[in-house]
Amino acid sequence: MAGDKKHRLAIIGSGNWGSAIARIAGGNVSKFGNLFETEVKMYVHEEEIKGRKLSEIINEEHENVKYLPGVKLPENVVATPSAVEAAEGADLLIFVLPHQFIEATCKELRGHIAKDARAISMIKGVEVKNGNIRIFADVIEEILGCRCAALSGANIANEVAEDKFSETTIGYRPNDLATAELFHKVFDTPQFKVGMVEDVAGVSLCGALKNVVAIAAGFTDGLGWGSNAKAAVMRIGLMEMKRFSEEFFQGVKPETFTETSAGIADLITTCFGGRNRKCAEAFVKTGKSFEVLEKELLNGQKLQGTETAREVHEFLKARGKVEEYPLFRSVFSIAYEGEGVKGLTSKL
């Protein structure tokens, strides 16, 4: 990219979180007009809302009426039903899609992105394939051939959209603070404070593994074990998250887990609110299986925490390391092997 050329942003995704982030990014590119092109294209997976196209509603009413109703988007955010059109000419790509669409969307974009493009992944979760766990920033980087950072934090989308105070964390690639600083300008506001850490894997893994810990925290709630036990399980879970990531991923920094919004802060919000905690509490109180609870409470959607617990378990089992992560193990055994929930802390 030539020194004076302005950066052009594209947002690939427009759900609840994507729309909240589009609101902030749209505002900031206008604020830093010397750095960024004003127009921000946003890829919208097209759907019909009462006979109208969602992309058209967004462009006419500046509101994502389906996924972030009641919140106005800046007028410089322009929706398009084509991911390729959204990315065309952009050198800063923000991926904020449900994880099952990442691979296909990246393949569609291949060959259509700027040579000097850089990406950031806001996708929670990890990809598990052939016994390996991969973070989505690596998936994006591999398919598109461009550097990819990650953003995660204690960020309930509706609260961010309402301008309630929040923090978040950008994880960047080794020696690539420059990219993080650019994305910092895209996202940072007085009410949405962005920290930076040289650790893409750590930031991404926090967002996935916290859900396993939230299942354990929900179990303690269901059992009525009180505050000491819940805090202990959260602490032990955080230590297992950190140790797991340090053991199996290169360049992971311990402080990503213990000091950043992506780590400890997001763990706190997830263990006190959120569906994982809630379903785990219901699992104990009702005696129903997670499969049944997913149908009853989540319209059949898979619960991330139990899914990740299973994936992590298979990963560890293949490497003979199950015993070294007793909390992860207990969550798996209770959710999938019929182990009694009262044994949650017996191996800690």
- Please give the positions annotated as active site: 210
SS3 300: coil
Residues 270 and 183: their CA atoms lie apart, in Å, by 25
Q: What is the largest CA-CA distance in the chain?
A: 63
Q: How far is CA 28 from the centre of its chain?
A: 21
Q: Which is nearer to a second copy, 60 or 247 (CB)?
A: 247
d(C-alpha 141, C-alpha 148), whole Å: 6
Instruction: Decide: is 266 part of the binding site for a second copy (CB under 8 A).
Output: yes
- For a second copy, the binding residues in 192-231 under the rule CB under 8 A are 193, 220, 225-231
CB of 238 to a second copy, least distance (A): 7
Least separation, in Å, of the C-beta of 15 and a second copy? 18
> Applying CB under 8 A, what is the total number of residues that bind a second copy?
43
Residue 238 interacting with a second copy (CB under 8 A) = yes
Residue 17 to residues 23, 68, 95, 166, 264, Cα–Cα distance (Å): 10, 8, 11, 14, 20
The least CB distance from residue 240 to a second copy, in Å, is: 12
Choose, by CB under 8 A, the member of 268, 314, 321, 326 that binds a second copy.
268
From candidates 156, 201, 208, 293, binder to a second copy by CB under 8 A:
156
DSSP sequence for 5-41: PPB-EEEE--SHHHHHHHHHHHHHHHHTTTTB-S-EE
Q: Which is nearer to a second copy, 53 or 193 (CB)?
A: 193
Find the binder of a second copy among 64, 121, 166, 211 (CB under 8 A): 166
Stretch that binds a second copy, among 28-36, 99-107, 155-163, 176-184 (CB under 8 A): 155-163
Q: In Å, how far are 218, 291, 293, 302 from 297, measured between CA atoms?
A: 15, 10, 6, 10
- DSSP per residue, 242-262: HHHHHHHSTT--HHHHHHSII
Q: Which helix (H) or strand (E) holds 129?
A: strand 126-129
Task: Answer yes or no whether residue 330 interacts with a second copy by CB under 8 A.
Answer: no
The length of the chain is 348
Q: Which residues pair with 77 in a beta bridge?
A: 40
- Joined together, the tokens standing for residue 57 give 């509603």
Q: How far is the CB of 348 from a second copy (least distance, A)?
A: 7
Residue 345 in contact with a second copy, rule: CB under 8 A: yes
Tell me the per-residue interface mask from 115 to 154 with a second copy, x by CB under 8 A, - otherwise.
Answer: --------------------------------------xx
Binding to a second copy (CB under 8 A) within 286-315 occurs at none
d(CA 50, CA 24): 28
- In the chain, what is the straight-line distance between the N-terminal and C-terminal CA atoms, in Å? 52
Supply the minimum distance, in Å, between the C-beta of residue 11 and a second copy. Answer: 20
Residue 187 annotated in ligand binding: no
CB of 155 to a second copy, least distance (A): 6
Q: Which of residues 30-89 bind a second copy (CB under 8 A)?
A: none
Residues that bind a second copy in the complex, under the rule CB under 8 A = 153-156, 159-160, 162, 164-167, 190, 193, 220, 225-236, 238-239, 255, 258-261, 264-266, 268-269, 272-273, 345-346, 348
Q: Which residues are annotated as a binding site for NAD(+)?
A: 13-18, 101, 157, 275, 302, 304
